[in-house]
Amino acid sequence: MSERVGISVVGTGDWGANLVRNFANLPGAQLVSVCDADPKRLAKTAAQYPGVKAVADVADVAADPAVQGVVVASSAVSHYPLARTLLAAGKDVYVEKPITLEVAHAEELCRMAKADGRILMVGHLLLYHPAVAYMKQLIDQGTVGDVFYVLCQRVNLGKVRKDENALWSFAPHDLSVVLHLLGSEPVDVVARGAAFLQDGVEDVVFVDLRFPNGKMAHVHVSWLDPHKERKVTVVGSKKMVVFDDMNPSEKITIYDKGVDRAGEVVSYGEMLTIRSGDILIPKVPQQEPLRLECLHFVECIRDRKRPLTDGVGGLRVVKVLDAAQRSLKSGGAPVAIAPLPQEVA
Ligand SMILES: NC(=O)c1ccc[n+]([C@@H]2O[C@H](COP(=O)([O-])OP(=O)(O)OC[C@H]3O[C@@H](n4cnc5c(N)ncnc54)[C@H](O)[C@@H]3O)[C@@H](O)[C@H]2O)c1
């Protein structure tokens, strides 16, 4: 085994190109090969990285002993068969989000990775964002108080996909953040949306999640919106925190705002007073989340560590997406989230 971890990237399209760029320049990693089923795409990528093998068939990646870790950045529908082939060949695998399009497929990948001691990581990029790590710290250390609800907006006028709707394309980001920040799984989910541009492919979706002990989250995703918004708002009993990913430098704002109860209940109604205190913009490290994510994959392979965004995290998100999709198709009926199977949890 060489000192550097051998990496292959499968799927070198719009997003895969960013992964290729990162792994080609990552300390501790060696980009061994790139793989794409589209010959034009493959030729374009290969031309930029002379010395890196270019292959069209994932079987060549699976059979290459120089490759230890494989990044699957192909279209979502191919994540499951590709990841399965690669895990079966003994590779450590990082699959872009959503890990699969079916709950049973995500469970199977988690079982395979667990049984064979392979690393299975999912590309829940925002969990590597220093601003999300900062928010999580604020919640865990009690600064925010009791979290009442989380609101996520991910809207723009952007890439309209044919093989997945806005829910499956965008919401994995927000759902992974919500599950991470709240540290629990929802009880049930309600989703409503509409397909304006293509039959059966929703362009805009509103998702409501209900958590144990009354907490809530709302996720609004759309690729048909005049604004480009990437925002997460956490409302707690002590503080309110906003992560605005469109703000180039001031990613986090902490509001000392809330409603306080008076100590004594003096009448049939409790006394509530509005608190509108200071607004703080903390300094949050400016590091590229994708680079941190790629470094983490290499570190997990080398040290045999469980990734921050492991396969089970991918499965949790797919369970919510699946429930939201069923709610969407039923016109907004609540769909309960079943607990994770014991053997994969
Ligand atoms: N983490 C993020 O922020 C983020 C952002 C954008 C996209 N993504 C994810 O990345 C993935 C790719 O998205 P994209 O926008 O680059 O799509 P894309 O369509 O631009 O690229 C996909 C590429 O995969 C190739 N491909 C498909 N099936 C293949 C197979 N069986 N073997 C080899 N190559 C295959 C295609 O030829 C294409 O070049 C998706 O899963 C998407 O959800 C993640």
Contacts of 250 (CB under 8 A, 6+ apart): 244, 281
Q: With the C-alpha atoms ordered 173, 178, 180, 185, is the resulting torsion angle positive or negative?
A: negative
Q: Supply the residue whose CA is at minimum distance from atom 5 of ligand 1.
A: 15
Q: State in Å: Cα 163 to ligand 1 middle.
A: 11
Question: Beta strands of the chain (E only): which ranges?
Answer: 5-10, 29-35, 53-55, 69-72, 92-96, 120-123, 147-157, 188-194, 204-210, 216-222, 224-236, 240-244, 252-261, 272-280, 335-336
C-beta 73 within 6 A of ligand 1:
yes
Q: What is the 3-state secondary structure (H, E, C) of 126-152?
A: HHHCHHHHHHHHHHHCCCCCCEEEEEE
Q: State in Å: Cα 213 to ligand 1 middle.
A: 38
Q: State in Å: Cα 341 to ligand 1 middle.
A: 29
Ligand 1 pocket: which of 33, 38, 72, 75 to mutate (most atoms <8 Å of CB)?
A: 75
User: What's the DSSP call for residue 125?
Assistant: G
C-beta 18 within 6 A of ligand 1:
no
C-beta 97 within 6 A of ligand 1:
yes
Ligand 1 pocket: which of 74, 99, 177 to mutate (most atoms <8 Å of CB)?
A: 74
Q: Where are the domains of the chain?
A: 5-123+290-322, 127-289
Which atom from ligand 1 is nearest to the alpha carbon of 123?
1
Dihedral Cα 175, 176, 177, 179, nearest 10 deg? 80
Mean pLDDT by 10 residues, the chain (345 residues): 87 98 97 98 97 98 98 97 98 98 97 97 98 98 97 94 93 98 96 96 97 96 96 97 96 90 62 84 94 98 98 98 97 94 83
Per CATH, 5-123+290-322 and 127-289 having the same topology is answered no
C-beta 34 within 6 A of ligand 1:
no
Looking at 265-310, list the stretches that DSSP marks H as alpha helix, in order from N- to C-terminal side: 289-303
For 255, the token pair is 């509001």
Q: Supply the residue whose CA is at minimum distance from atom 41 of ligand 1.
A: 76
| Assigned CATH topology for domain 5-123+290-322 | Rossmann fold (3.40.50)
Q: Is the pTM of this model over 0.85?
A: yes
CB 154 within 8 A of CB 220: yes
C-beta 166 within 6 A of ligand 1:
no
Instruction: Report the alpha-carbon distance of residue 317 to residue 183 in Å, rounded.
Output: 13
CB 69 within 8 A of CB 93: yes
Q: State in Å: Cα 148 to ligand 1 middle.
A: 36
Q: State in Å: Cα 266 to ligand 1 middle.
A: 61
Which atom from ligand 1 is nearest to the alpha carbon of 168?
43
- CATH classification code of 127-289: 3.30.360.10
CB 179 within 8 A of CB 185: yes
